[in-house]
Structure 1
Amino acid sequence: MAAKRLIVVVESTAAMGPYWETILRDYLDKIIRCFGENVSTVQNSSSSVEFALVSYNTHGCYSDCLVQRTGWTRDPDVFFLWLSSIPFSGGGFNDAVIAEGLAEALMMFPNSQSGDPNQQNVEIHQHCILVAASNPYPLRTPICVPQLQNLEQSETIESFPGNCLYDAEAVAKAFPQFSISLSVICPKQLPKIKAIYNAGKRNSKAADPPVLAKTPHFLILISEGFREAQGVLKVGEGNSSVSESEK
């Protein structure tokens, strides 16, 4: 069994602060515990589970660092401690550098390019959860992302290895190419955040799976490839995080 990996990409601006305890308690903690269950009893290192954290802020003088990252850990308790210790500050009225945060996560995952992003019933072992409370920075910026191999003619310019200017949606489009699921947790109904999720879907035509959300005003979009998260959040058994009237 291949190693399973999860990276949580968190906005560390002051805008996230009021919502973080709820997100951590009601969503991330459940996902982490489920994803890492029985890790201590696994004897074969090839079936291990690893966690990592990426935090991102905004451009401007009120942000000490645009993007920060941890190493990998196999201990869910250590990972939860990292998440619990994130300092939320800065941001102001600036949009967050989500593209840079997602790109950092992409670079941390081992390169395992998928043959067909639209192929169904593919077991995915690498997952990313974007936790955002602000809109993404609107302009394309120079970002380092893994290079795709064997590009088809139908690929968009955002995926071309020679193009180094990306926005958040362009970076999100690379996730299915590398067999990485992308899920989203946002304490607000922000259309631009949902657009990032849609850009990172393995199957662009697949319907958004509903989530039994304790906080209906939150935007909770769990990738169809992240089965552990779907199971623990009881995807499909409750109401969607977005009501029919909001679609």
Structure 2
Amino acid sequence: MNGKTPYQLAVETDARLIKGEVISRQERENIVLVLLESARPFSSSGGSSQKRELAPVFYAPEEGIKIKSLLGQTPKTKILAGNMVELEILRLLCLLAPESSQVVLMRDETLRRLKNTCFGYEDDGVGECFDASLVALRFLCAAAPGDLDWIQSRVDNYNRHAEEKKRPWFPKWYFWLCLSEMPMEIAASEIERHKKELLEKLRRSYVMHSEHDKTVHPVVLCMLRNLMARLPEYRWVGERQIAVSPKDGRLRLDLA
């Protein structure tokens, strides 16, 4: 759509949903159609529990186009880039067209594949496999929300290794994004554990200077709003809107 890659379309749509934008049924159907038509044909190899399956099957980064996550992270490895593209597109399809036979096939095959990856199913805090584990976690919250044990294993993986990271902010923000969408049976205790820091981030203002700021900061602030609104005592926050102050040009959530 309008020259976007499938991944760019998925990220843009994802951001709109987080910000609470209304996307018409017709536009949703058009988005799904574009994403399904861009999927690579699937040929079952039977799968083997003895074989690592780290590479994406249905979607892959396009040559010469730099990948950026919803929160502005640029992957440095093929493992993270490829799985970020595939899992984020498939996650969106699971939300927009969960009953599509093509989506069901891709979802089920991807769930099977993830069980043959280190980042998707095992204890893995190494390099960008740690980041890929969080991408897998977010996918699981949409594709297999009833598999609480699997989801919990990825939460545990984050908690085991988060403090080891020299640059913890991308993983932490992405983990918070996962918490905003995770089954509450697991998310509730994690939100409580992070609540003080989450409230600090929710109440602060954000610069809107660069294109990066204007793209990422509204998503971040709306994600924080959606996350805190999951708690009964902060449900009212979910009705509040973000706005740029005419006084200082900074983005805030209206908490008055």
The answer, yes or no, to whether TM exceeds 0.5 is: no
Q: Larger helix proportion, structure 1 or 2?
A: 2
Query: Which structure has the bigger radius of gyration?
Result: 2
- TM bracket (short chain): 0.3 to 0.5
Greater relative contact order (CA < 8 Å, ≥ 6 in sequence): 1
